[in-house]
Chain A
């Protein structure tokens, strides 16, 4: 059994039209499907049906998160193991979520719902799947982004949920923040293709701190910051900066429902084998300083408490 990659995030938004405009024009995703209350999006350089689902709601935040597994038989195993661990699971029928096959939704101790599934419809790269174009269409001079890279979510006890992901689902932990007694207060978990796919930090259960999109080079983060300013996005948070954690160049901003987004580039590669990646550790003082914002070496407390 292997969970192979983060595939999509399903978000709540309080105004579907405003959010559609944001994810199409600012983030630069393609609309791949629409229902009465949902819109599905994918980046130009990912083949699968979607990487973001927007759900019209009276609230903002994360609805659920989709992870792919390596074999259809993994679903039964994940259901059984999760239930044995004491977690609630729900079977998802094929097509219940557009563009993907059947799945198993597991509610983590943190309150977040993960949907594990095997099959996804393939829509192809935006450049085409037959004799593809070499240059992708830009949006206002900004290169297309690569893919949905990760999420940072919040819960009251990050160590508890990370323990489940590590022990039962073979997630690896690449970086963590530790309390003075060595216990984990924030953990960065990965299924292997990037430094982290999902990270857990202190905050309300079920909370969303941000979703992050990966761009191809650090200069693209500058261009995207320029795009945010040129579109007068009033909700860019701080400016272009660098995280000590993962070593990425990054910029944060918000969607019209208050869900925080990130453009980033430059994470170091992880070997991708569970238990073979040594852990990088930050103590709390440094995580709040250079771990978070390397240039500023400090940031306002509201960055850590603003969750949707």
Chain B
């Protein structure tokens, strides 16, 4: 059984979204399945656009990150495109997510 954790993303205006994310999937792809499109560009650990601030919890990266970008990130930053939770996790996103329209067919794909 793959461990699953609650991941919460808080926007600067205080709005929050929260999803169950398995430790084998990235936070970005998990939220995408639920219709939340997080700010991103390369989605490959190379640009830093998706970085959020960890407020509580632990994570690990599923694929390599560019050290060049990691060093620019303040301590406690996480690249959401390649990070998976290792505990319940709350992060603060500097850029707001956008919401995809979800149809009744999307429900089939959702983890309830």
Q: Which of A70-102 contact B (CB under 8 A)?
A: none
Alpha-carbon distance A30/B109, docked complex (angstroms): 38
Q: Which of A255-280 contact B (CB under 8 A)?
A: 255-260
Alpha-carbon distance A34/B39, docked complex (angstroms): 37
Top 8 nearest A-B pairs (CB, nearest first) are A258-B46, A14-B64, A258-B44, A60-B46, A258-B42, A59-B68, A58-B67, A306-B41
CB-CB under 8 A from B66, the residues of chain A are 12, 14, 58-61, 257-258, 308
CB-CB under 8 A from B49, the residues of chain A are 302, 305-306
Contact status A235-B65, CB under 8 Å: no
The answer to whether the Cβ of B96 comes within 8 Å of any Cβ in the partner chain is no
* Interchain nearest-CB distance for A79 vs B (Å): 29
The digit string for B43-54, where 1 denotes a CB below 8 A from any CB of A, is 111110100000
Contact status A308-B67, CB under 8 Å: no
Q: Which residues of B contact A (CB under 8 A)?
A: 39, 41-47, 49, 63-69
Number of A-B contacts (CB under 8 A): 70
Per the CB 8 Å criterion, the residue count for chain A at the interface is: 25
In the complex where A60-B68, A256-B63, A257-B66 touch, is A237 in contact with B41 (Cβ < 8 A)?
Answer: yes
Contact status A306-B47, CB under 8 Å: yes
Contact status A254-B43, CB under 8 Å: yes
Contact status A306-B63, CB under 8 Å: no
The answer to whether the Cβ of A24 comes within 8 Å of any Cβ in the partner chain is no
Contact status B43-A307, CB under 8 Å: no
The digit string for A286-308, where 1 denotes a CB below 8 A from any CB of B, is 00000000000000001101111
